[in-house]
Chain A
Amino acid sequence: MLTYIIRRILALIPMLLVISFLVYLGLELTPGDAVSYMIPPDVAGNLSAEDLNALREQLGLNKSFLERYGIWLFNVLQGNFGHSLEGGVPIKDIFLDRLPATLELSAVAIFFSTVFGCVLGTIGALKRGSATDSGLTVAGMLGVSIPEFFFGLVALSYFSLHLEWLPVGGRLLPGHDSYWDRIPHLVLPGLVLSLMMTAGVMRYSRAAMLDALGREYIRTARAKGLPEWRVNLMHGLRTALTPVIVLIGFRLPTLIGGSVIIEQIFQWPGVGNEFIAAVRGQDYPLVMMIALFSVLAMLLASLIIDILTALIDPRVRLE
């Protein structure tokens, strides 16, 4: 297994290089540059073309595409991710500043969606065809069909503005920076994100559980006289978890990249919010850092999923 893991990690290097080049190329194809964004058009007429050109020269934007990519790559290989073009803040600092907020939100969403999704999916499978199963199926359909911004706005409108139970957004309030103070801020975005993910996990785990319950080893377990709960949980659910783990595993890196819509609605100061601002402002060092981190997380998640699958399902062998 160790050889397999090392081989997979080494394979990440060329993949990351190709992906970084493609992302950089994508940014290059986008019209305009960071300077176009820094100066509002309403006041642009007051600035001379020489001044704007000097700004571009200073930021290295006048160099050729390959030259800029080469410089960026050379710096990254030395551990230097550069500075934000707009504000000069080190990219590493911005990223590390935003990451905790995103991880916090992601952890809540992954935890609740996994627990509730698996439990409700299993109940639906065990009570197949019942009113409970139908109700959960309808709820699951609604959950995956309704866009998250709609849930977000409804939740905000009702719980924050109408009932005034929870804050309208943000992660912190001045003078309230202990972890317990943060929880009310986390409830709504965490809930909405969990809700969307729970629906998916529930549908997946129901289908996987139904598939598992129809297998011969389940019949064998029952024939051996094992109690029904043991058959369902130890033999059925364990196997059914494999596809669910794959689903959750692949969602984790996308959440680390930031749940853009939820972060926007709830003014959540995470990576997703920063990514949107960086793309709008053509702040390519920041876009590259976030994009590369998301890709790396995705590739690592794929590796971890393979390992976990092998651990859970004895039929799977890593080669």
Chain B
Amino acid sequence: MKRLLGGLAVSTALSLAAPAVAEDVIENPLADERVRQAIAYALDMETIVDTLFEGKAIVADSMIPNGPWKAPGLEPYAYDPDKARALLEDAGWDEGYVLDVVYYYGDQLTVDLMTTMQAYLADVGMQMTYRKLEGDVIGELTSVPEDPQSDTSKVSWDIAYGAKAALVLHEYYNVYLDGKSAYTPSEAPRNELLRAINGTADLEEQKVAFQDFQRLESAELSDIPLYYQQIYIFESNRLDRNGGPYGNEQFNYDWNIVNWTIEPDENGKEILYTNKGPIQFFTQPWLNPGLTTDAKLLYDRLMTANAALVPTDGQLAEDVQVMDGGMKVMFDIRDNATWHDGTPVTGEDVSWSIHTALKVPSLNGVFANTFQSLEGAAAYKDGDAETISGITVDGDKITLTFETLDPNVLVTFSQFPPLPKHKLEGVNPLEFQQHSFWQNPIGSGPYRVEEVQMNDFTRFVPYEDYYGGVANIDEIVAFPSGDNDPNVVKNAAAGRLDYGFTKSVPDVQALEAMEHMRVIPADINYTRSLRVNAFPKKPS
């Protein structure tokens, strides 16, 4: 606690010292945490969630979702416009300053939220304009100043409204790591807490470190947390999960798909209709490992996780051993695990997958952290070594030795699907997604591709030699769609959608009104926030 308080004091001192920068730099009023706190107090998130989001969200008091890892007693920043005005007065807020707020979503709800925020902020004497980022959105959001402590901002906005979809809690805060944040200048006390979060695989120690960080976060408000978004799983009454759990559908967990059943149609065939099938090609699963239907059905992982995405047991691996305090991990792959063409899944497949993934640009951040922590990974990535020295394969056994501790190694292997080396060997990692494999891929999971009519539908049938037994449902038909399927309501109403998930509030309301559909909300790591740019700016 002493360390934390010390950190807070330094942080405040640095914030107040912000005006003392070079002459060609404009003082950024948002560097003052009182201004950021005032914004948080000025927004009545309870009312916004109840009205604008029809209650389909949870007001956030931290980037970390509610649950056992949440620090007790965090300041909730409940709506208090008087307090906001007082903080602004203390900070010497210039009422002529117009905040430039940006967002990147294309839905009407976001525009409505911006209008609402504008009204709330005007009420406490803050002006804001808003605009949708177009074009190089990633560059506009993530460009980092060369000197993360004192350089001027590389992004043009004051506040960016966005979301963080996290696989592990570390992802919420590792964006503040030295030289990684486009909007929060680097500070020693924060870096120290980040090191504590990332420096241990012990869950209790991690929990304490996370709670320390939340207290710092709550005072600093580098991100002003707005609300936690839930995911809504929808199912038709024809479908029965037979005890299978409901969890974070955006990733992979043990959802018991093999035992799902569905009422037969008029021809006596058990067909499940779903969406998020391929449009022009199957999306490679190393960036978003569970977002598409095919990623969930086609591939198994070395480990499985429970509905809360906590790794539990081996999946492709029948044995998992963690040694040396997490610095060494061994997976023993099942003898009867095979790819959909009958070829056995081997340690070589896993080794090849890790080697290739490390050079694929669009790799999930959690996977990247794990693989980069391997012994010899840096030399391999830089081209100084032909292989990663920390990977050894002995038949079906693969052992990974780490140079630095990665607290999320098991999470990675509960989500990262190894791919068949014999089908992809020689692929240029920079053109990974462009390989012809993604027109009709094979995997190691319970369903295989039977027919692909790109842009029409994809048919999946049970893989007859699946080591976990043959799945019950005769056929799964996935209609093509992206993450936001505009045809959910229409297809569900017509009986052409038995399973799926959405975050769209209007879609959820329409689905709830259908007698033959049920909607199940599930908590996920998905926090919407205002990223506040505290870097000094150059004169325009």
Which residues on A are within 8 Å of B, measured CB to CB?
Answer: 30-33, 35-36, 38-47, 49, 51-52, 54-55, 57-58, 83-84, 86-89, 94, 97-98, 156, 160-161, 164, 167-174, 267, 269, 273-274, 277
Q: Which of B357-390 contact A (CB under 8 A)?
A: 361-366, 368
From the candidates B361, B364, B433, name the one contacting A52 in the complex (CB within 8 A).
Answer: B361
The answer on a CB contact under 8 Å between A88 and B135 is: no
The answer on a CB contact under 8 Å between A94 and B104 is: no
The answer on a CB contact under 8 Å between A47 and B361 is: yes
Which secondary structure dominates where chain B touches chain A? mixed
Distance to closest chain A CB from B84 (angstroms):
28
The answer on a CB contact under 8 Å between B430 and A55 is: yes
Judge whether B80 is part of the interface by a CB distance below 8 angstroms: no
The answer on a CB contact under 8 Å between B361 and A55 is: yes
A174 to B456, CA, bound (A): 9
The answer on a CB contact under 8 Å between A267 and B135 is: no
- List the B side residues contacting A44 at CB < 8 Å: 137-138, 141-142
Q: Which of B425-480 contact A (CB under 8 A)?
A: 428, 430-431, 433-436, 438-439, 451, 453-457, 459, 475, 477, 479-480
A171 to B136, CA, bound (A): 35
Closest to A53 in B: B361
The answer on a CB contact under 8 Å between B280 and A168 is: no
Judge whether B487 is part of the interface by a CB distance below 8 angstroms: yes
- List the A side residues contacting B171 at CB < 8 Å: 46
Distance to closest chain A CB from B467 (angstroms):
27
The answer on a CB contact under 8 Å between A170 and B456 is: yes
The answer on a CB contact under 8 Å between B165 and A42 is: yes
- List the B side residues contacting A31 at CB < 8 Å: 134-136
A36 to B141, CA, bound (A): 11
Closest to B171 in A: A46
A44 to B182, CA, bound (A): 12
The answer on a CB contact under 8 Å between B281 and A169 is: no
The answer on a CB contact under 8 Å between A41 and B135 is: no
The answer on a CB contact under 8 Å between A88 and B455 is: no
Judge whether B341 is part of the interface by a CB distance below 8 angstroms: no
The answer on a CB contact under 8 Å between B436 and A39 is: no
The answer on a CB contact under 8 Å between A58 and B477 is: no
Kindly specify which of B11-19, B235-243, B489-497 makes contact with the partner chain.
Answer: B489-497
A234 to B281, CA, bound (A): 54
Quick one: which of A51, A84, A160 has the most chain B CB within 10 A?
A51
- List the A side residues contacting B163 at CB < 8 Å: 42
The answer on a CB contact under 8 Å between A86 and B368 is: no
Q: A32-B137, A46-B171 are in contact. Are A269 and B455 (CB under 8 A)?
A: yes
Q: Which of B318-368 contact A (CB under 8 A)?
A: 361-366, 368
A51 to B165, CA, bound (A): 20
Judge whether B118 is part of the interface by a CB distance below 8 angstroms: no
- List the A side residues contacting B139 at CB < 8 Å: 36
Distance to closest chain B CB from A86 (angstroms):
7
From the candidates A38, A88, A98, A156, name the one contacting B490 in the complex (CB within 8 A).
Answer: A156
Known: A161-B494, A267-B487; 11 extra A-B contacts, CB below 8 A, are A31-B134, A33-B136, A42-B162, A42-B165, A52-B361, A55-B362, A58-B431, A161-B490, A172-B453, A172-B456, A269-B455
Distance to closest chain A CB from B526 (angstroms):
8
Distance to closest chain B CB from A285 (angstroms):
12
- List the A side residues contacting B491 at CB < 8 Å: 168-169
The answer on a CB contact under 8 Å between A43 and B287 is: yes
Distance to closest chain B CB from A152 (angstroms):
11
A169 to B485, CA, bound (A): 14
- List the B side residues contacting A38 at CB < 8 Å: 362, 433
Distance to closest chain A CB from B371 (angstroms):
13
- List the B side residues contacting A156 at CB < 8 Å: 490
A38 to B271, CA, bound (A): 32
A57 to B431, CA, bound (A): 11
- List the B side residues contacting A32 at CB < 8 Å: 134-137
Judge whether B91 is part of the interface by a CB distance below 8 angstroms: no
Distance to closest chain A CB from B396 (angstroms):
31
A88 to B436, CA, bound (A): 8
Closest to A278 in B: B280
Q: A47-B361, A161-B494, A174-B477 are in contact. Are A89 and B280 (CB under 8 A)?
A: yes
Q: A89-B439, A267-B487 are in contact. Are A170 and B365 (CB under 8 A)?
A: no
A88 to B431, CA, bound (A): 8
- List the A side residues contacting B165 at CB < 8 Å: 42-43
The answer on a CB contact under 8 Å between A171 and B456 is: yes
Q: A168-B491, A171-B456 are in contact. Are A88 and B438 (CB under 8 A)?
A: yes
The answer on a CB contact under 8 Å between A160 and B431 is: no
- List the A side residues contacting B430 at CB < 8 Å: 54-55, 57-58
Q: What 0/1 readout, one digit per residue, does chain B (130-150) give for beta carbons within 8 Å of chain A?
A: 000011111101111000000
From the candidates B135, B164, B454, name the one contacting A30 in the complex (CB within 8 A).
Answer: B135
- List the A side residues contacting B428 at CB < 8 Å: 58
Closest to A83 in B: B434
The answer on a CB contact under 8 Å between A172 and B138 is: no
Q: A46-B171, A88-B436, A89-B439 are in contact. Are A168 and B134 (CB under 8 A)?
A: no
Judge whether B175 is part of the interface by a CB distance below 8 angstroms: yes
- List the B side residues contacting A42 at CB < 8 Å: 162-165
- List the B side residues contacting A86 at CB < 8 Å: 280-281, 433
Judge whether B261 is part of the interface by a CB distance below 8 angstroms: no
The answer on a CB contact under 8 Å between A87 and B434 is: yes
Judge whether B483 is part of the interface by a CB distance below 8 angstroms: yes
- List the B side residues contacting A49 at CB < 8 Å: 142-144
- List the A side residues contacting B483 at CB < 8 Å: 40
Judge whether B288 is part of the interface by a CB distance below 8 angstroms: yes
Judge whether B279 is part of the interface by a CB distance below 8 angstroms: yes
A234 to B525, CA, bound (A): 73
The answer on a CB contact under 8 Å between B137 and A174 is: no
Distance to closest chain A CB from B322 (angstroms):
24
From the candidates A47, A57, A273, name the one contacting B455 in the complex (CB within 8 A).
Answer: A273
A33 to B279, CA, bound (A): 20
A38 to B141, CA, bound (A): 15
Q: A88-B431, A172-B453 are in contact. Are A47 and B436 (CB under 8 A)?
A: no
- List the A side residues contacting B496 at CB < 8 Å: 168
The answer on a CB contact under 8 Å between A46 and B364 is: yes
- List the A side residues contacting B454 at CB < 8 Å: 97, 269
Name the 9 nearest CB pairs between A and B, nearest first. Answer: A31-B135, A88-B434, A46-B365, A32-B135, A87-B281, A269-B455, A58-B430, A51-B361, A168-B494
The answer on a CB contact under 8 Å between A87 and B455 is: no
Distance to closest chain B CB from A46 (angstroms):
2
The answer on a CB contact under 8 Å between B162 and A41 is: yes
- List the B side residues contacting A94 at CB < 8 Å: 280
